[in-house]
Amino acid sequence: MLKEGNIRIPSGCAISGIIDKSGAVFSGQIIADSIATMHDRSNGLGGGFAAYGIYPDFKEHYAFHMFYDDAKAKQDTEDLLKANFVIAYEEKIPTRKTQSIKNAPLIHRYFVLPKLEVLNASEMNDEDFIVKFIFNVNKNIDGAYIFSSGKNMGVFKAVGYPEDVAEFYKLETYNGYMWTAHGRFPTNTPGWWGGAHPFNLLNISVVHNGELSSYDTNRKYLEEFGYSCTLMTDTEVAAYIFDLLLRKHKLPVTLAAKVIASPLWNQVERLSPKERELYYNLKIIYSKALLNGPFSIIVTYDNGFIAINDRIKLRPLTAASQGDMIYVASEESAIRRVCKNPDKVWIPKGGEPVIAEIEQQNISEIYDKKEVTA
């Protein structure tokens, strides 16, 4: 197989995201139906989903989803897992035979917590410990890849069209309060399982349509903070940038949006003195976190998502709402496939974020009690 960067294919890509702001959970079949509408925006070289609220029985554990090339990679990784974590439960991720999904790796999941004595010896908090462990496995164990690592959420991805990936992973059997989906048309790779979207780190996941010309600048900037970019894909840096801004630097989501899609200088000059000072500082401090190039992107985190375009809107993004439901997608047709009569439909301006979050209630209580099938 050709390596990332050795081949170039004109890009399309499709993205879709749905959240119920009340915290009610709904079937993964709904997001699968939405993304399937945009079949022609991808070419079968990658599809995937991120789902939140799907593991209520293990909501306090980190859920590691793993790809293994062979039994040796699995054994080496499990030896390392057992040395560092208490494993509450482990299993092969359930799949079904799907004609178009071929050459699947070994796919397993583990619900884990760091061993207290190991965590204390590391002098790190549990999230930093998890991140370091993920980078260690993905970089140093040949044939092993942790592709999902959050709490009460999971990423499911493969080489194939997204609707076939949903069939393969039996997503209709999962219920979550927030879902995103991606159909891939690779720009710089022939497509492989680890390179499919979403990209995830802890509870942050990213699906992306476009191409980030700022990749190398972003990558070098992230390496200053200990991140390790091993996949050679632009979307990977977007996931790590949001982890840095939201988790490490505690920026509000609204400001994180202005970092990655910063207003142009001539726009900043027209702002009030207070706003001008804020954006001057953001541009100076986070200049290397700016995402340049055409993109539309959906970033999911613990209790919501942000969807945003590049500053001059070179990639499509449409949003809609109906009651507590918020929808975003590359095309309006993908929204209307699952929401026939939305209350409101709008096309966000370039650099204008759509932010949708769970209402101020205890999510852990909500998704245990509510379910809709829409």
Active site residues: 13
Helical residues (DSSP H) of 12-125, grouped into ranges: 28-36, 71-84, 116-122
What percent helix, strand, coil does the chain show, rounded to 5? 35, 25, 40
CB atoms under 10 Å from CB of 327, counted, come to: 26
CA distances 236 to 220, 262, 282, Å, are: 13, 20, 22
Element (H or E) spanning 366, and its range?
Answer: helix 363-369
343 and 322 Cβ atoms separated by less than 8 Å: yes
328 and 355 Cβ atoms separated by less than 8 Å: no
Reduced to 3 states, what is the DSSP secondary structure of residue 237?
helix
Reduced to 3 states, what is the DSSP secondary structure of residue 27?
strand
CA distances 226 to 45, 129, 132, 148, 374, Å, are: 30, 12, 8, 19, 43
Going 58 to 64 to 65 to 67, the CA torsion angle's sign is negative
Which amino acid, residue 238?
A: A
28 and 179 Cβ atoms separated by less than 8 Å: yes
Q: What are the strands, taking DSSP E only, across 284-370?
A: 295-301, 304-309, 318-322, 325-329, 344-346, 354-357
Rounded to whole angstroms, the Cα distance separating 284 from 288 reads: 9
Which one, of 75, 31, 297, lies nearest residue 181 by Cα?
31
Strand-strand pairing, 371-372 and 25-27? parallel
23 and 356 Cβ atoms separated by less than 8 Å: no
Which one, of 372, 366, 279, lies nearest residue 325 by Cα?
372
